[in-house]
Structure formats: structure tokens, C-alpha cells
Amino acid sequence: MENEKTINLKGSEEKEVTVHGGKAYEFFKRFFDILLSGLVLLVFGWFILLIMLIKWLEDVNGKAYVLSIKEATKDTKDKYKQVAKDGKVYEVHLLPDPEGKKDPTVHGAIYTSTRIGKNGKPFKFHKIRSMCKGAEAMKAQLLSYGINEADDPAFKLKNDPRITRFGHFIRKTSLDELPQIWDIFIGSLAIVGPRPPIPCEVDEYTSYQRHRLDVKGGLLCLWQIQKHRHQLSFDEWVKLDIEYIEHRSLWLDFKIIVIGFIMVLFDRSGE
């Protein structure tokens, strides 16, 4: 069975969109999600705990940090330069708090955030923290200067100053995503599906973009298996997500899983 919905494209043009996949597909998809995520937790649970321990050790003596943003000069090193939407170039540093205090909010290796799932339902989403504490407040500070390499409403910086030393490693290897295996096992996520957005992004979605929420979000999606995937615009993300939604099948899911696994191991074009 397929569900047909008529949605507005950015408030004007209308398009009929088919959400592909019936009850049999949903049953086998969920069965495979439980089987594979349960197997990974059983075999590699110790490794996930080890990564969490290393992250905790990085933070155990963690200090509070502040973000320093000022206009760049000709002497500013490239790794500290960030270009704002208006073309201005800033020098951005992550600095220890001048008072030199430990950060009292450092209390765990897991970062939990609220994401928006199928049909707009919120759920708890888990990652191994790759950023320093206070990262959300720093994000607001960066946005106030117009520093954001992604198209609104998404946010992305290639050289994000908030990422810790170990955070760079787990992001490069995608190990920060490992706790989402548990999210898959309990049914909050699927292995394959559009990446679940944060609430403030959804608040800015057009009717067309909200169509991403017509199916359960996933660990892997179609845009993640593209070469140079992080150079894609937000509109291109949405287009690929809707392409997946309109053509969902067990074969397409299997293809995305295999290619995604290969890219995690060998491809660095998306960094």
C-alpha cells in the first residue's frame, strides 16, 4: 500500500507525493532493524563503552570555555578563519574561561538532544559528545555573527571550534553515532531514513521540507552516500530525502547500508 499526499512547494506550487512502502515492507524493515542493531550491541557493546570511557576521561578535568570572535587580520591563520554570510571574515577561537574554573556541567560522555521524528513527534536522540560543554550557547553566538556554512535552517561549520580533540577523531570515523544503535533497537530510529532534525530547524521548514517527517528518521540516508556530501545544499538534502521516501524498498535500504558502511571505512570526501 502507498500513501499519497498533496503538499505545497514553498507555499505556491503543489505536487502530489507518494510515500512508498506498505505494511509488509514496514514489518521486514523493523525486523531487520531489531536484528542488526541487537547483533551490533551484543558483539560491539564493549567497544561503545570503551569510546564513552575515553570521552569521559577527556572531560574529567574539563574546564569551562568561552568563544572569542573578532575580525580577522592578514596574520590570522586559516584554521581560525570563519566567513560570515555577509562576506566578513572573523577569527574564531575556543579559549579556557578566564577564571580557570572546571566546567561543572561536564557529567557524561553521552549527548542527548530532542529531535523530531515521524509526523512531527519528538524523541530523545543520543550521540557521544564531540563538542565542549556550552556548545549550544556558542552556536547562538556564531549565528549572531552570521557564521554558518549551511543553508538555513541547517547549521554546519567544517572547522567548528567547539569540537574537542577526541571529538575530531570520533566525528572523522563516525564513532560519535554509535549510541544511535540503541535508538534503533528501541524503535526511535531506523537504520535507513532521513536524518532527524532539531525542533528549531523544523520550525522554519516550508510545507515541502516538512515532508521529510512523513517517515521514521534514520542513521543513514540517501544524501550521506553521495560524494562530497557535506557540500550539498539543504535543498539538495531535502530532494534526496524525498527521493528516498518515494522509492523506499528493502533493496534500496540494503544498498544505502552497504555503500554507507564502505564510505565510513574508505571515503573521506564528506569531511
Q: What is the pLDDT along the chain (271 residues), one digit of tens a residue?
A: 444 443 343 443 456 668 888 899 999 999 999 999 999 999 999 999 999 999 888 877 666 788 889 998 888 888 888 888 888 999 998 887 776 555 555 557 898 999 999 999 999 999 999 988 778 888 889 998 998 988 777 788 888 888 988 999 998 888 999 999 999 999 999 999 999 999 989 999 988 889 999 999 999 999 888 877 777 888 898 999 999 999 999 999 999 999 988 887 776 554 5
Q: Which DSSP string do the residues of the chain spell out, in sequence order?
A: --EEEEEEETTTEEEEEEE---HHHHHHHHHHHHHHHHHHHHHHHHHHHHHHHHHHHHHTTPBPEEEEEEE--TTS-GGGEEEBTTS-EEEEEEEE-TT--B-TT---SEEEEEEE-GGG-EEEEEEE--B-TTHHHHHHHHHHTTB-SSPTT----TT-TTB-HHHHHHHHTTGGGTTHHHHHHTTSSEEESPPPPPHHHHTT--TTGGGGGGS--EEE-GGGGSTTGGGS-HHHHHHHHHHHHHT--HHHHHHHHHHHHHHHHH--TT-
Structural domains counted in the chain: 1
Asked, for residue 255, whether it belongs to a domain, the answer is yes
Q: Are 196 and 217 in contact (CB under 8 A)?
A: yes
Asked, for residue 164, whether it belongs to a domain, the answer is yes
Asked, for residue 271, whether it belongs to a domain, the answer is no
Q: Would you say the pTM of this structure is higher than 0.95?
A: no
Asked, for residue 138, whether it belongs to a domain, the answer is yes
Structural domain range at position 179:
3-266
* Cis? peptide before 153, omega within 30° of 0: yes
